[in-house]
């Protein structure tokens, strides 16, 4: 059996391909940041994946859960990210993520983008009360 990891249907993926994807992703991110600034959105922490995927993370330091949720929702709506999920995270948090593709300059979709936020659980249960004991 042949290992096809790192290849597409037509050729082996090369470093030249990876560099091109990263340059395109940087250009896309620059456009997104320009438009987001004009729209007054809060800054996110951005990472660039190996094939040009963009990942924005809501900075939750010093922010209330409602503010983090608002920033996440505003960005997901701004980027028209229709696929949204929430999964259990670590230490009782809820990991929210929204995924989609951004259009390139010609209008074709093709730049994957992911927005994530970790929110504390919404239930306000005092751990010192009987509610937490079996």
86 within domain boundaries: yes
32 within domain boundaries: yes
Q: How far apart are CA 115 and CA 12, in angstroms?
A: 29
4 within domain boundaries: no
The number of residues making up the chain comes to 134
Q: How many domains does the chain have?
A: 1
Range of the domain at 45: 15-123
Whole-structure pTM value: 0.75
**How would you write the pLDDT of the chain (134 residues) with one tens digit per residue?**
344 455 556 779 898 988 888 888 888 899 899 999 999 999 999 998 877 789 999 988 888 888 999 999 999 999 999 899 988 887 788 889 999 988 766 666 678 899 999 887 664 444 444 443 34
Q: How far apart are CA 51 and CA 112, in angstroms?
A: 9
């Amino acid at each position: 059996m042949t290992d096809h990891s790192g290849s597409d249907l037509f050729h082996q993926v090369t470093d030249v391909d990876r560099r091109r994807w990263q340059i395109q992703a940087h250009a896309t991110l620059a456009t997104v940041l320009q438009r987001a600034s004009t729209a007054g959105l809060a800054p996110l922490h951005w990472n660039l994946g190996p094939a040009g995927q963009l990942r924005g993370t809501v900075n939750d330091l010093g922010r209330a859960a409602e503010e983090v949720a608002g920033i996440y929702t505003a960005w997901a709506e701004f980027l028209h990210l229709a696929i949204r999920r929430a999964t259990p995270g670590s230490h009782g948090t809820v990991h929210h993520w929204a995924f989609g593709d951004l259009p390139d300059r010609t209008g074709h979709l093709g730049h994957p983008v992911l927005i994530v936020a970790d929110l504390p659980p919404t239930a306000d249960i005092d751990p010192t009360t009987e509610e937490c004991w079996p």
